[in-house]
Structure 1
């Protein structure tokens, strides 16, 4: 990671990922978001914590414009991860944390193909994905897999620009990475025991998935650009 050029999509509000990478030696960190969500007070608080824990010293952040000169963080929002404008083969590491599940499948495909273009041949992608029903955060009484009981039609009213969840399963993500030209190094699925009450009410659109696939709650997917000449 030291002296590397990194990229993140789904920057969010507090920029904890780029701050951490920068404190540990990343030469440059480009982070993008579809909307300008970053909050200065959250960033300043995290910057102080990261500086203290890493033993690094940085000037105080008084505006988002201070991020690049003091932390080598290039924050871009609004910006589209499908068309980054970055040079080909210019990124050593691409990261996202619990972002892909909020993006439609066709756009994930476009993002991953763009990542493949901007990644150096020896670069790495690190993607943490949450496969669970996010409404459990509002109602702890429901299962983390409750949304698998809804058809596409019945689920549609619960989708919005503020709480869109694509409901893709682990095998579908792995396929998207492979189709975009990545070799998978690790996928670390968080598998949970099958829940009979979910299986009994499973929506038809999920009936072709294995129980392991259905009841995987999340994953950290690690990959690198495949050698196009060999497929490995």
Structure 2
């Protein structure tokens, strides 16, 4: 779907009465999320493998440990990998919304069991057929929620959709709640997500707008904070977190993406950043409390 069509749909949904807009958004996303389920599982498995590789490098062991996931999304794919492949003890997964649906969970359980030769023993864990090791906290803001004891906090492609103010408050909460030596692992996708469905766009296209212009384009359904790598690092350092791991991708010179980037008139809000800082993508970062 071209980005203008998708943006128009989100803008239309945003002007509807809230309950109706959310209901229609949920139906559209539900169809999209379940259309390529096997691809989504494999993509999440790649993230899990990257997570385990990072943990091995840093000598972090999740065996029999408790994990908090920020952003549950539509299915408990990452929690299942933590439990069934990482042998974690428990995953508590938090989301501002309630996107899980019982029919989808049951279908996912069948597919996961078959694909990974796992016996997924579930019970009616609340409204959903989840393993007892996966505890779902929908419609909860982790900033104000009472979180359980955990050794690791994890997010996958979530932080870019959180306001800078809430990122600060979230990490203040973890600083107070987690024991010293705990770890926070973020996989961040800071690029313009519209470019994923429209290859004519640069991954940095949204950096040509000032904040008011960008706010007229985005909605609550596709919010992106547009933070650049130095801004994330500044937040974490200001809260006295130790950054023990950091990797990111850069746009290769003479590539099509580099050409698209060079054609953008970057807004003055971002003029003080280097090309590498502006184009840094796929940020993987580990913080130590």
TM tier, smaller: 0.7 to 0.9
Q: Helix, strand or coil: the match of 1:75?
A: strand
Residue 268 of structure 2, aligned match among 195, 204, 207:
204
- Look up the match of 2:133: 72
Contact kept? 2:229, 2:280, Cα under 8 Å: yes
Give the SS at the match of 1:121.
Answer: coil
What CA distance in whole angstroms lies between the structure 2 residues aligned with 1:143 and 1:46?
Answer: 34
Looking at structure 2, the residues matched to 161 and 134 of structure 1 have their Cα atoms a distance apart, in angstroms, of: 14
Counterpart selection for 1:16 from 62, 77, 89: 77
1:181–1:42 Cα change, 3 Å: farther
Q: Distance in 2 between matches of 1:182 and 1:48?
A: 40
Question: Which shows bigger deviation, 207-216 or 36-45?
Answer: 36-45
- Number of equivalenced pairs: 222
Q: Distance in 2 between matches of 1:115 and 1:49?
A: 34
Aligned twin of 1:44: 106
- Is the CA contact 1:184–1:223 (under 8 Å) kept in the aligned structure 2? yes
> How do residues 63-102 of structure 1 correspond to structure 2 at under 5 angstroms?
65-66=127-128, 70-86=131-147, 90-102=149-161
SS at structure 2 position matched to 1:163: coil
Confirm or deny that 1:4 pairs with 2:68: no
Note the C-alpha offset of 1:40. Answer: 2.8
**Among 243, 246, 251, which residue is 1:192 paired with?**
251
Which SS does the other structure have where 1:127 is aligned?
strand
3-state SS, counterpart of residue 144 of structure 1: coil
Partner SS state of residue 154, structure 1 = helix
Deviations 1:15-58 (A, max 9, x none): 11111112132212111100111133433344344444554422
1:172 is matched with which residue: 224, 231, 242? Answer: 231
CA contact (8 A) 2:102 2:128 kept: no
Residues 105 and 129 in structure 2, CA contact (< 8 A), matched pair in contact too: no
User: Helix, strand or coil: the match of 1:120?
Assistant: coil
4+ long deviations beyond 6 Å: none
> 1:57 maps to which residue?
119
Structure 1 stretches lacking a partner, 5+ long: 226-232
- What is the match of residue 49 of structure 2? none
197, 211, 219: which is aligned to 1:138? 197
| More helix, by proportion | 2
Match of 1:230 in 2: none
Aligned pairs (5 A) from 1:120-135 = 120-135=179-194
Following TM superposition, by how much is the alpha carbon of 1:117 offset from its aligned partner in structure 2, in angstroms? Answer: 2.2
Measured in 1, the distance between the counterparts of 2:238 and 2:113 equals 39
Note if 1:108 corresponds to 2:167.
yes
Under a length normalisation based on structure 2, what TM-score does the superposition of the two structures give? Answer: 0.70
Q: 1:205 to 1:34 in 2, by over 3 A?
A: same
Partners of 2:141 and 2:251 in 1: how far apart?
A: 34
Q: Does 1:215 align with 2:279?
A: yes
Q: Tell whether the 8 Å contact from 2:188 to 2:282 is kept in structure 1 after alignment.
A: yes
5+ residue gaps, structure 2: 1-61
Kept in 1: contact 2:63–2:88 (CA 8 A) = yes
Q: CA RMSD in A?
A: 2.2
